[in-house]
Structure 1
Amino acid sequence: MKKMPLTVVNPHAAGIDVGSRTHFVAIGQEQKDVKSFGVYAEDLSSLVKWLIDSQVTTVAMESTGAYWQNLFVELINSGIEVVLTNGKFTKNINRKKTDVLDCQWIQKMHSLGLLPSSFLPDHTTERLRTLCRHRTNMIQQRADSIHKMAKFLKYLNFRLDVVVRDIAGQTGLKIIEEICNGNLDPKALAAHRHHNCRRSEEEIAKALVSNKREDYLFGLKQEFARHQFYTSMVIDCDKEISQFLEQTIQQKEDVVDDIPDGKYFKRQNKNAITGIDLNIASYQYFNGVDLLAIPGVSHSTILSLMSEIGPDGFNQFPTAQHFASWLKLAPNNKISGGRVLSNRIPQGSNRLKIALRNAANAVGNLKDSDLTKFFKKIAFKKGRQTAINATARKIAVILWNMITKRQPYKPKNNYLFLDQKRRIVSRMRKQIADLGINPDDLGFSRANRDKIAAQMPSDYQPFSLR
């Protein structure tokens, strides 16, 4: 029988089966080559010392939950190379599963060089990621408190949701605060109406007649206090993130001095970060690349890019196709017998993929940009969901090329938002006024257009391209 030997790529390799209370370490395939260690700081130090004494230079372990992080830091600080791999690459069939066998199997696979390493951001990006993810969790908790407040308001017969678009807006929060302070007079509550509110005070007062249930009032007070608490937490997170970004940008060796064009047409919602201009901060953070120039890319998309991958993380992917595949936005082609059996996009997502899909969905709502034409072409053929994935992949490729090659976004046709069009029209009117020309003589006014149309023959059809 012909044997096919496998080449040992890492002769001084070890495998670790990470656990919540015990780590099993294997430096060979014999029973004596396996030891178990605890999870305390002194246990991790003993583990590292045993690996160094055994002349181990590289270690492989699974990214199991959050149990690997402290051990990973300890190994990196000791100078040992660490390969953090996904658990799907360490599966073994037709064998018993124990902690000892798992760590030996990981050691064997790593010795043969068969375990790929997972993507890990740099230390600065990891710290920013921790802050941004914590901020997202606080926003989610605040949204949950808003839903609970809406429920208690309905139980109290306060139909604030009918007369106010957002109960967490200026009008809604002032009315809820007065209710929690004990003021249940409909007219007094309606007096807190903001001047931009579409409904009148009389209509708002009709919707604020309560049944005065004390148990529901108590629940509303609790949820309003929770909303205020998480709002203060989000504000503190914004301050911490702003300070961290400013310090990081100041510590860069070559900080970009120029400022990008203002993005007045890209509005921010109430959950947007405050205390820092992300348009300027991202321009300096990504070394002079204006990512907000891409249609559909919002401030939240930029913050996800900065916190999840960072400017140095793009260099870990050799091509834009590798980056799109890591995001699970590229089709996973399965070919057998010369036939394509499946070309579906792999399941699973991360925060960056979700942010790019949201950007692609926003592109689909625009009118005349190049990305919108691409989106509508795919949506016409295969539906909106497929178009969102395809456009998200296209945006990912554009981002990789812009950041790695430091090139600006150059569409074939420049897309103008409504605010940009209004500014151009206002500028043209000022230039016409400076020249002393009457707009009526140029046919700009509506009355002049109607006069010209009345003089045309009745069977006249204006020429149009179809």
Structure 2
Amino acid sequence: MKKKSTPMEIVNPHAAGIDLGSRTHYVAVGQGADQVREFGVYEADLQELATWLQEHDITTVAMESTGTYWQNLFATLQGAGFEVVLCNGKFTKNIKGRKTDVQDCQWIQRLHSLGLLSGSFLPDQATEELRTYCRHRTSLLETAAVTTQKMQKYLRLLNLRLDVVVRDVTGQTGMAIIEAVCRGETDPEKLAACRHGNCRKTKEEIAQALHGNGRRDLLFALTQELELYKVLQEKIAACDVAMEKLLKEQVEADEQKRGLKAEAKPYKRVNKNAPQQMDLNQLAYQYFNGVDLMKIEGVSHSTVIALMSEVGPEGIKKFGSAKQFANWLRLCPNTKVSGGRVLSSRIPKGSNRLKIALRQAANAIGNLKDTHLSDFFRRIAFRKGRQAAVSATARKLAVIIWNMLSKCLQYQPLKQYLFLDEKRKLKLVQRIKKNIAKLELKPQDVGFATTW
């Protein structure tokens, strides 16, 4: 019996597929055995690869986003004028059976020529540079957190229960006491004298927790961890300086952005892990062309810096709608229907840094009172639980941010939120009005009358 074939329309006739590797790259410009070639990973090899593609009249290339192996080749091909499609590896999986590098690159070339591959989101060069600084800073913070945990461990083994009497061992009181211990001080009263004025515990309570056993090995390890912690803090501060310099360069390059002035927000608490040196409120206002994202309740400095480094003002325009942006963040339910019946509607697995930042902001909104977003959070939490409310509020934040940045709109909640100082002022005015009405005072009695 003669086999039947179902032809498919060729969308990209001049397409190539590349299977990336740590030491070699396999490139296919067709499905024939003589249309596949292996190249190395050195710069000369990448240039030879681009020249070979040009000789075969290739205009578009598809490759998987495998680790960090794709970045140098991606830049080389873009510089040579090719249209490069970087796709997720789960969309290029071949059918079950024998698997080789040659077959993989040919499969990618076939899918790309038929138009079955979609490219991943990639930020612009300026945003990618800022992202490198921010991700490196996050790595330093994680290492510093591990160092802090080790200091707590050695303090506990030394029987110095500093973690019981202070809220943060790396705060002003904790660091002063740890430095004194590493210098050789053993008197609990003298160690307790390092207490900062803001510490809730008294000197007597702190002294009771600082009767150590004086083991030399543990003291040596504690000193090493303290030195490492200080070095990490210096590296974090240097990273903050580099980030601020990059942001100011981008702002100063645009005359319109230079003239923008943000409203001060003293009610926004600056977390100890947030950049301390730069005025992120002002820089973010200028960076996003006068759109004040910090006015959104629950949005903190870490949320804004994650948005600036992961997407940027130009990257947000690559998403055609707020639904596409929320879907890219994997904050939309992945509804599966079969036979007219909904099988599941779970949110897809996987998180990027911006999704994590938005979920943290949504969790903070759940602790607020009398706001438009917190009312929304509580309605969802009452029906489906707090975890579902965090995801739903994070998606709502993503929609709000997309509309603000893509349409240059300011935040206008349906219900205005009053911060603590504004509430105190409002209560004071109401109390004064009540006393005036109670005493039946007139403007002339309190000196408010004016003569014309």
Please report the TM-score for the alignment, with normalisation by the length of structure 1. 0.91
Task: Report matched runs for 1:44-59 at 5 Å.
Answer: 44-59=46-61
Number of residue-to-residue matches in the alignment = 437
Whole-Å separation in 2 of the counterparts to 1:44 and 1:141: 35
Match among 259, 269, 272 for residue 270 of structure 1? 272
Per the alignment, residue 61 of structure 1 pairs with 63
Per the alignment, residue 459 of structure 1 pairs with none
Shift of 1:339: 1.5
Per the alignment, residue 330 of structure 2 pairs with 328
SS of the equivalent of 2:84 reads strand
Per the alignment, residue 139 of structure 2 pairs with 137
Shift of 1:262: 1.6
Shift of 1:279: 1.1
Q: Over residues 97-151 of structure 1, what are the superposed CA-to-partner deviations in whole Å (9 max), with x where a residue is unaligned?
A: 1000000000111111110000000000000000000001101111111100000
Whole-Å separation in 2 of the counterparts to 1:287 and 1:128: 17
Whole-Å separation in 2 of the counterparts to 1:409 and 1:52: 50
Paired residues of 1:324 and 1:396 also in contact (CA < 8 A): yes
Paired residues of 1:256 and 1:287 also in contact (CA < 8 A): no
Per the alignment, residue 397 of structure 1 pairs with 399
Whole-Å separation in 2 of the counterparts to 1:210 and 1:69: 53
Shift of 1:261: 2.0
Q: Over residues 391-415 of structure 1, what are the superposed CA-to-partner deviations in whole Å (9 max), with x where a residue is unaligned?
A: 0000000000010011111111101
Paired residues of 1:24 and 1:37 also in contact (CA < 8 A): yes
Per the alignment, residue 288 of structure 1 pairs with 290
Paired residues of 2:260 and 2:285 also in contact (CA < 8 A): no
SS of the equivalent of 1:333 reads strand
Shift of 1:274: 2.1
Whole-Å separation in 2 of the counterparts to 1:349 and 1:262: 32
Per the alignment, residue 184 of structure 2 pairs with 182
Q: Over residues 237-292 of structure 1, what are the superposed CA-to-partner deviations in whole Å (9 max), with x where a residue is unaligned?
A: 01100111000111125316232322111101111102221111111111111111
Per the alignment, residue 199 of structure 1 pairs with 201
Shift of 1:443: 6.2
Match among 278, 281, 304 for residue 279 of structure 1? 281
Shift of 1:198: 1.3
What amino acid is aligned across from residue 79 of structure 1 in structure 2?
G
Shift of 1:420: 2.8
Whole-Å separation in 2 of the counterparts to 1:397 and 1:50: 45
Whole-Å separation in 2 of the counterparts to 1:295 and 1:104: 51
Identity of aligned residues (%): 57
Paired residues of 2:251 and 2:258 also in contact (CA < 8 A): no
Per the alignment, residue 461 of structure 1 pairs with none
Per the alignment, residue 374 of structure 2 pairs with 372
Per the alignment, residue 32 of structure 2 pairs with 30
Q: Over residues 187-232 of structure 1, what are the superposed CA-to-partner deviations in whole Å (9 max), with x where a residue is unaligned?
A: 1111111111111111111111110011110110111011101000
Whole-Å separation in 1 of the counterparts to 2:253 and 2:190: 54
Task: Report matched runs for 1:386-465 at 5 Å.
Answer: 386-424=388-426, 428=429, 441=436
Paired residues of 2:19 and 2:64 also in contact (CA < 8 A): yes
Per the alignment, residue 307 of structure 1 pairs with 309
Paired residues of 1:324 and 1:393 also in contact (CA < 8 A): yes
Whole-Å separation in 1 of the counterparts to 2:258 and 2:43: 42
Q: Over residues 419-449 of structure 1, what are the superposed CA-to-partner deviations in whole Å (9 max), with x where a residue is unaligned?
A: 33235556x49x96xxxx9x855569xxxxx
Per the alignment, residue 448 of structure 2 pairs with none
Paired residues of 2:46 and 2:76 also in contact (CA < 8 A): yes
Shift of 1:62: 0.1
Paired residues of 1:264 and 1:419 also in contact (CA < 8 A): no
SS of the equivalent of 1:116 reads coil
Per the alignment, residue 242 of structure 1 pairs with 244
Per the alignment, residue 448 of structure 1 pairs with none
* Inter-CA distance 201–277: structure 2 relative to 1 (3 Å threshold): same
**Is structure 2 residue 19 aligned with structure 1 residue 21?**
no
Match among 203, 211, 214 for residue 212 of structure 1? 214
Please report the TM-score for the alignment, with normalisation by the length of structure 2. 0.94
Whole-Å separation in 2 of the counterparts to 1:72 and 1:170: 47
Paired residues of 2:322 and 2:398 also in contact (CA < 8 A): yes
Per the alignment, residue 447 of structure 2 pairs with none
Paired residues of 1:334 and 1:343 also in contact (CA < 8 A): yes
Paired residues of 1:164 and 1:172 also in contact (CA < 8 A): yes
SS of the equivalent of 2:256 reads coil
SS of the equivalent of 1:264 reads coil
Shift of 1:96: 1.3
Per the alignment, residue 5 of structure 1 pairs with 7
What amino acid is aligned across from residue 280 of structure 2 in structure 1?
L
* Inter-CA distance 264–218: structure 2 relative to 1 (3 Å threshold): same
| Structure 1 portions without partners, runs of 5+ | 445-466
Give RMSD over aligned pairs.
Answer: 1.7
Paired residues of 1:26 and 1:33 also in contact (CA < 8 A): yes
Whole-Å separation in 2 of the counterparts to 1:419 and 1:247: 35
> Which stretch has the larger CA shift, 189-198 or 119-128?
189-198
Paired residues of 1:314 and 1:403 also in contact (CA < 8 A): yes
* Inter-CA distance 28–2: structure 2 relative to 1 (3 Å threshold): closer
Whole-Å separation in 1 of the counterparts to 2:158 and 2:318: 56
Q: Over residues 319-374 of structure 1, what are the superposed CA-to-partner deviations in whole Å (9 max), with x where a residue is unaligned?
A: 10011011000000111112111111001100000000000000000001011111
Per the alignment, residue 102 of structure 2 pairs with 100
SS of the equivalent of 1:376 reads helix
SS of the equivalent of 2:334 reads coil
Paired residues of 1:146 and 1:227 also in contact (CA < 8 A): yes
What amino acid is aligned across from residue 420 of structure 1 in structure 2?
E
Per the alignment, residue 348 of structure 2 pairs with 346
| Structure 2 portions without partners, runs of 5+ | 440-452
